[in-house]
Amino acid sequence: MMRMSGRVLGACLLAALLSGSGAVRPATAAEWGTLKARFVFEGAVPEREKLLLNKDEDVCSKNHPLDEELIVDPDSRGIRNIVVWLELKRGESLPAIHPSYAESESADVRLTNESCRFKPRITLLRTSQTLVLGNDDPIAHSTVAFLTYNQPFNYGVAPRTEAGTKLRLEKVETRPAQISCPIHSWMKAFLLVQNHPYMAVSDEGGRIQIRDVPPGEWTFRFWHEKAGYVAAISVDGQKLEDRKGRYPLTIKGGTTTDLGDTRMTASDFD
């Protein structure tokens, strides 16, 4: 009888599980694709003003929080915190999940308070993961989530708490939900909950990258907290428009689908 190594056996077991999930999965790593895009601001770079502090000023003013609604890097002109996720159509099956996402499938995702602001500004959470509320500040905070499909919550987080409340959110949110702190009215963040890992947030250079996407045509949704749904994007220099930010994009296996630069102006954020 032929003996199989642990790695081969594990791969066989994984394949058996996947075959029963109803999802069609590519056979080799070369068949997965990557989605890339960049968002660039045109015009005078907006200045980030200091937020008005009305509580715990002795602590919060040490690293005075700045407005984060629209962050543009002055050098690259990249727009930060554009959120992109693969959105399933009604009745569409869950996309194939690349094995590279297995390690993070049940990971803890920490949302904390640092210098009287939420960190990160945008939290991406899978329904299989655990949201952990923390607090790095020497003062108490509260974390309130205005969720639509999951149960809304409001938890106090004591000072210097590495891991406070742990939450499982098992329903998909159709758009990023707002997070706030009623103790400190200027604090705000957003939480996107999906049942797959194919989502991303643009970095300081305005760059978005989603790796290991199964090939095919998928609908991706683009959103920004100040602009709302991104009503126009560029794909290979061609302008696509959709007021709800939904765009069908074709992912090709073994290559990168690079949409290029989408240029936005101040009017896009009014």
Domain ranges (residues) in the chain: 32-269
Whole-prediction pTM value?
Answer: 0.88
Does residue 230 surpass a pLDDT of 50?
yes
Q: CATH class for domain 32-269?
A: mainly beta
The b/e string for 35-59 (b: 16+ C-beta within 10 A; e otherwise) is bebbbbbeeeeeeeeebebeebeee
Q: Is-contact 14 21, C-beta < 8 A?
A: no
Residue 220: beta bridge partners? 86, 247
Q: Band of the pLDDT at 236, cuts 50, 70, 90? A: confident
Does residue 36 surpass a pLDDT of 90?
yes
Alpha helix locations (H) across the chain?
6-19, 57-60
| Cis previous bond, 95, omega within 30 | no
Q: What is the pLDDT of residue 22?
A: 36
Does residue 254 surpass a pLDDT of 80?
yes
> Helix (H, G, I), strand (E, B), or coil: what is residue 40?
strand
Q: What is the mean pLDDT of residues 185-199?
A: 97
Q: What is the pLDDT of residue 29?
A: 55
Does residue 138 surpass a pLDDT of 80?
yes
**Pairwise CA distance, residues 208 & 35, whole Å:** 8
Question: DSSP state, 206?
Answer: S
Lowest mean pLDDT among 5-9, 140-144, 192-196, 247-251: 5-9
Mean pLDDT of the chain: 90
Q: Is the dihedral of CA 201, 240, 48, 182 positive or negative?
A: negative
Residue 264: beta bridge partners? 41
